[in-house]
Amino acid sequence: MTETPAPESSPPPQAGPPTTPLTPLPQESPPPAHAGWAVVAVLFFWPLAFSAFTHAFNVYPLWARGDVEGAKAASDRVRKLGQISLWLFGALLLLFAICYTAVMVAWISQGYGWHHHHWHHGMGDQDMMWRNH
């Protein structure tokens, strides 16, 4: 009779699910929704606010579905859109200030200051014609 040798390194069969450690692993928290940046987008350049709020409202549902990278991308997009709206507002405000200054300088340099405006008060074309006769 011949005996078959048993493998020396085979592990004994396990029964049941694999064991888990006694201390639970720390679960990652969802990325911030950056709702404040979405509000900044509303206040300073509202066309970007639609996209900012859409991404802000998608952060938690994406994270809850397990799409951690998608949630982080949505969170980053909200912050970026809020910052872009702030920069656009600043650029438009600067452009307005430059144009306003240029118009005022041109107006004053042409002699249309406040001292030339006093003769128009209260006199229409009919009053001027009556006084000339």
Query: Chain-wide mean pLDDT for the chain?
Result: 80
Say what percent of the chain tops pLDDT 70.
Answer: 65
Please give the pLDDT value at position 20: 47
pLDDT of residue 27: 73
Q: Which residue has the higher pLDDT, 43 or 1?
A: 43
Contact call for residues 74 and 55 (beta carbons, < 8 A): yes
pLDDT at 16 over 60: no
Distances (CA, A) of 72 to 23, 25, 51, 84: 27, 21, 16, 18
Residue 1 pLDDT class (50, 70, 90 cuts) = low
Those residues with Cβ within 8 angstroms of residue 31's Cβ, 6 or more apart along the chain or in another chain: 59, 63, 71, 72, 74, 75, 76
How confident is the model at residue 28, as a pLDDT?
77
How much is the pTM? 0.60
Q: What is the pLDDT of residues 64-95, one digit of tens each?
A: 999 999 999 999 999 999 999 999 999 999 99
